[in-house]
Amino acid sequence: MTRSEDAAGTPPIELPKPIALLWGLAQEGERGPKRGLTLDQILDTAIALADAEGVPALSMSRIAKELGFTAMSLYRYVDSKQTLVTLVLDRVIGRPPEIAAAGGWRAGLRAWALAEFDILARHSWYLDIPMAGPPMGPNNMAWLEAGLAALGRTNLPESVRLQLVLNLSLYVLGRSWAAKDIVADQGEDYDLEGTLLSVLDPARFPALVSALTHRAFDGDIDWTRADFEFGLDRMLDGYERYLAAHGFGAGEDPVNGSAAKG
């Protein structure tokens, strides 16, 4: 645990080691002989290995071998594998996109969501790691700050703004998981539509049989990025209606923060 004291001089609190390391409040590599590593090297190597080999590569021994050190050397910098994973999950998400205030809340949230989706697509193993708790690192906080700032000119309560941003992120995570584990792995070995039509009872599944008969699953739909954007736009349509009901519609004035009346 690491002690931290704020600028107002309030009594220090004990920070868990992962939080202290995330925020640069703990010294790294302080035990043992002169260090030959840095925490940044360890995390960057971990991310590169996970990109190449998946979550199983996130082991102290595998990372140490890649760096040419012993596993015990890494424990001078991170006290456990869970601490390592916590640091990696914040580092890999990186910094949020720059969102122009003049673009309005909808364009801002859309850019924010697309950027998160693209990062998760580049590091899909991220989705295989169970969350041990709410993200609390500086990069994740920067993303939350950027999302809240996009809604900062609205007249919505702070708690509602937070709900809108977190639900948008949950949509991104869910669709990213679907793109990774469902769409990417769907088989091409058999006729899906024909197989389903051969087993579905039209009296029990009339809507589904109609969709399959009219080849609703055919066409040029990109069920990853393009369909993600389709769903994202529909979600933002809902946000737009919600904001309009609270006196702040789609035609907001990004300078004065007022809704344009049409």
Percent of the chain surpassing pLDDT 70: 82
Q: What is the mean pLDDT of residues 12-16?
A: 80
Provide the pLDDT for residue 131.
82
* Tally of CB atoms within 10 A around 28: 15
**Dist CA 242 CA 82 (whole Å):** 40
Q: Is the pLDDT of residue 250 over 70?
A: no
CATH fold, domain 2-93, is Arc Repressor Mutant, subunit A (1.10.10)
Q: Is the pLDDT of residue 130 over 80?
A: yes
- Three-state DSSP state, 206: helix
- Residue 181 has what DSSP assignment? I
101-184+224-257 and 2-93 share a CATH fold:
no
Mean pLDDT of 237-258: 69
Residue 27 pLDDT: 67
pLDDT of residue 140: 97
Q: Is residue 214's pLDDT more than 60?
A: yes
pLDDT for 151-205, tens place per residue?
988 889 999 999 999 999 999 999 999 888 765 555 556 677 888 899 999 999 9
Using CA atoms of 193, 198, 199, 200 in order, give the dihedral in degrees to the nearest 10. 70
Residue 7 vs residue 68, higher pLDDT: 68
Query: CA–CA separation, 157 vs 253, rounded Å?
Result: 19
Classified as helix, coil or strand, 246 is coil
Cα gap 158→135, rounded to integer Å: 19
Contact 239, 220 (CB under 8 A): no
Q: What is the pTM of this model?
A: 0.83
Of residues 220 and 236, more confidence is placed in: 236
CA torsion, points 2, 128, 145, 229, in degrees to nearest 10?
180
With beta carbons less than 8 A apart as the criterion, state whether 88 and 45 touch: no
pLDDT for the residue numbered 85: 95
Task: Report the Cα–Cα distance between both ends of the chain, in Å, rounded.
Answer: 57
With 70 as the cut, is the pLDDT of residue 2 above it?
Answer: no
pLDDT at 259 (0 to 100): 40
Residues 22-49 have pLDDT tens digits of 998 876 555 544 467 999 999 999 999 9
**101-184+224-257 CATH choice from 2.50.20, 4.10.860, 1.10.357, 2.60.120:** 1.10.357
Crossing angle (nearest 10°) for helices 60-67 and 81-93: 70
- pLDDT reading at 219 higher than 70: no
Q: What is the mean pLDDT of residues 241-250?
A: 81
More confident: 31 or 215? 215
Supply the mean pLDDT for the chain: 85
CA distance 50 to 59: 10
Q: Is the pLDDT of residue 50 over 60?
A: yes
**Domain residue extents for the chain:** 2-93, 101-184+224-257
Q: Are residues 148 and 162 in contact, defined by beta-carbon separation less than 8 angstroms? A: yes
- Average pLDDT on 101-113 reads 92
